[in-house]
Homo-oligomer: A and B are copies of this chain.
Amino acid sequence: MNPSNRRPSTQSSANSQLVEQEERRADIGFGTKITDSHSRLVNKDGTFNIVRVNGTLWDRLNIYNRLIVMGWVPFFSWLLTGYLLANTLFAGIYMLAGSDTLIGVDDRVLNGPFWKCFFFSSQTLTTVGYGHISPNSFLTSCIAAFESMLGLLAFALATGLLYARFSRPIAHTRFSKNAVMAPYLDVNGWMFRIINTRDNQLINLQVSVSLSRIEPKSQSDSTLTRKYYGLSLERNKVNFFPTNWTLVHPITSESPLFGCTPQDLEASDAEFLVSIQATDDTFAQAVHTRYSYRYDEILWGYKFQPMFDGTQTSTVTLDLDRLDDVVEAELN
């Protein structure tokens, strides 16, 4: 921009070779600047290895999402904690409003007035309302009316959260611990294996695999930059997923892995990013899952063992424990 001339214009070189070249460059969203080899791009649980700072408090708390994603034990711990805190808070308020206006039961059998207020609060919040303790003044009646409404809303929230947690579409897909470099037909192949651990039926699976590695920017410019390559698969789509599925990237001369050694992969901080999309048949919901294999999770010269039980009778039996079973195999 030329500040002295307040009429900048977008008229520059008409057609640009560089623009076309840039448009062809593959990028799956991580950009080219993450070249530090100590970090992986995609964690084992499918999350990304990025930390956000300076977001708003609300964004950082991200309450709904956290309550959905966390495990069942923390979830119920939070619920119980919230319930105890709310009752403690309201017990305090009833104490201030006068615990003697909550009548019907002798304080002493409930360990004093605070606990009477606490239990009254719990009976109000859950709307169980036995009535053996009841508010006997205008003020405590008001508080109780408000608390019971809060109770309803909290209940509503819990309903929604529990339903959302349960109905959340998760692909119960397990990945083999390691990928292998195995002989494949008359060449070699980079392979990994997945199974559906549940009886839910996953249909219309689609898998895409990208290779990410650090390379010099171009033959003339040796600045390190992260590059991405889509890997062609023997088969990237199946209609049904009843058994195990071994995904194979055949290493032909078109493959970016052609001619690579394990040392090459390590030197270039290679990471294989796997992305799976499917439909869970129960609710016809889309499910997505991600995984990644780093260079040090690839077994060179091994192949997967079959997972089917040998004693095949009228039903086919799939042994989930054999997912990671590999055996040495000479590479072509």
Integer count of this chain's copies in the complex: 4
The smallest C-beta distance from A90 to any residue of chain B, in angstroms, reads 12
Which of chain B's residues have a CB closer than 8 A to the CB of A260?
9-10
Which of chain B's residues have a CB closer than 8 A to the CB of A225?
none
Q: Indicate if A321 sits at the interface (CB-CB under 8 A).
A: yes
Contact with B along A31-74 (1 / 0, CB 8 A): 10110101101000011111111111001001011001100000
Which of chain B's residues have a CB closer than 8 A to the CB of A79?
149, 153
With CB as the reference atom, state the residue of chain B lying closest to A154: B152
Rounded to whole angstroms, the CA-CA distance of A151 and B182 in the bound complex is 55
Return the contact of A239 from the options B235, B263, B275 (Cβ within 8 A): B275
Say yes or no: B162 contacts A138, CB within 8 Å: no
Contact with B along A198-210 (1 / 0, CB 8 A): 1111010100101
Q: Which of A210-269 contact B (CB under 8 A)?
A: 210, 234-235, 238-243, 245, 250-253, 255, 257-263
The smallest C-beta distance from A269 to any residue of chain B, in angstroms, reads 13
Say yes or no: B168 contacts A28, CB within 8 Å: no
Rounded to whole angstroms, the CA-CA distance of A301 and B19 in the bound complex is 19
Say yes or no: A309 contacts B53, CB within 8 Å: yes
Say yes or no: A1 contacts B33, CB within 8 Å: no
Q: Indicate if A15 sits at the interface (CB-CB under 8 A).
A: yes
Q: Indicate if A78 sits at the interface (CB-CB under 8 A).
A: no
With CB as the reference atom, state the residue of chain B lying closest to A240: B29
Which of chain B's residues have a CB closer than 8 A to the CB of A145?
87, 118-119, 122-123, 126
Say yes or no: B239 contacts A28, CB within 8 Å: yes
Interface size class of A (residues with CB under 8 A): 35 or more
Say yes or no: A55 contacts B14, CB within 8 Å: no
- Given A39-B315, A65-B199, A131-B129, A284 and B275 contact (CB-CB distance below 8 Å): no
Return the contact of A38 from the options B2, B29, B155, B314 (Cβ within 8 A): B314
With CB as the reference atom, state the residue of chain B lying closest to A105: B136
- Given A19-B187, A330-B1, A59 and B197 contact (CB-CB distance below 8 Å): yes
Rounded to whole angstroms, the CA-CA distance of A174 and B54 in the bound complex is 13
Say yes or no: A301 contacts B138, CB within 8 Å: no
Return the contact of A1 from the options B9, B15, B320, B331 (Cβ within 8 A): B331
- Given A29-B242, A109-B138, A152 and B158 contact (CB-CB distance below 8 Å): yes
Q: Indicate if A124 sits at the interface (CB-CB under 8 A).
A: yes
Which of chain B's residues have a CB closer than 8 A to the CB of A122?
144-145, 148-149
The smallest C-beta distance from A121 to any residue of chain B, in angstroms, reads 9
Which of chain B's residues have a CB closer than 8 A to the CB of A255?
10
Q: Indicate if A167 sits at the interface (CB-CB under 8 A).
A: yes
- Given A250-B16, A263-B7, A149 and B167 contact (CB-CB distance below 8 Å): no
Say yes or no: B242 contacts A300, CB within 8 Å: no
Say yes or no: B10 contacts A52, CB within 8 Å: no
Return the contact of A148 from the options B126, B188, B205 (Cβ within 8 A): B126
Say yes or no: B168 contacts A282, CB within 8 Å: yes
Q: List 20 A-B contacts (CB under 8 A).
A: A9-B259, A9-B260, A12-B331, A12-B332, A16-B252, A18-B186, A19-B250, A27-B238, A30-B240, A33-B306, A39-B314, A46-B201, A62-B198, A69-B282, A115-B141, A123-B128, A132-B134, A156-B159, A157-B166, A159-B159
